[in-house]
Amino acid sequence: MSEQLENLFTYTKLKLLKNLNDTTQPFVESHMPIPTDDDYTIGYIDRSFIQKTNDINSHIQEINPDNTIEVTDNFYYTHVTLKWRLTGTPQDIMDSNSKTIQYASTTIPNIAYYLSNTLQFAKV
């Protein structure tokens, strides 16, 4: 499905709602990951982000990847989960996380502004 068609479909779903502020919109708590020793052994962590579907300039929020079920089937939010590299050489980490950000930006276009530090949580 083309991006324009997807956007039109999403817009139509949202427009059909009687009230965008109704109680079906879930409360989503922000989350800042804290990598564990096991995460550093694995070399990456999962990070999940959401943004309001009807406004690509709205606030991007990081959420707990374990709690994404609340938003993945909810049309109020656009959601993306990515693998964030933690270990390696600084250049390898930056390259890997930059590619991950590029991939995530196909879903949440302005996520690069949120994830400007590609060495965040890195252990080199």
Q: Is residue 83 part of a domain?
A: yes
Phi, psi of 92 (to 5 degrees): -65, -40
Q: Give the tokens for residue 72.
A: 């993945």
Q: Give me the domain span that covers residue 35.
A: 3-114
- Give residue 122's pLDDT: 96
CA distance 31 to 77: 16
| pLDDT tens for each residue of 63-107 | 988 776 666 667 788 999 999 999 999 999 999 999 999 999 999
Q: Is residue 119 part of a domain?
A: no
| pLDDT tens for each residue of 23-57 | 555 667 788 999 999 999 999 999 999 998 889 89
- Give residue 77's pLDDT: 87
Q: What is the 3-class SS of the chain, one letter each residue?
A: CCHHHHHHHHHHHHHHCCCCCCCCCCCCCCCCCCCCHHHHHHCEEEEEEEEECCCCCCCCEEECHHHCHHHHCCCCEEEEEEEEECECCHHHHHHHHHHHHHHHCCCCCCHHHHCCCCCCCCEC
Closest to 33 measured CA to CA, from 111, 116, 122, 124: 122
More confident residue, 65 or 117: 117
Q: Is residue 120 part of a domain?
A: no
Q: Is residue 122 part of a domain?
A: no
Cα torsion through 91, 97, 102, 104, rounded to 10: 180
Q: Is residue 50 part of a domain?
A: yes
Q: Is residue 47 part of a domain?
A: yes
- Give residue 105's pLDDT: 96
Please state the domain count of the chain: 1
Q: Is residue 100 part of a domain?
A: yes
Question: 62 with 84: CB under 8 angstroms?
Answer: no
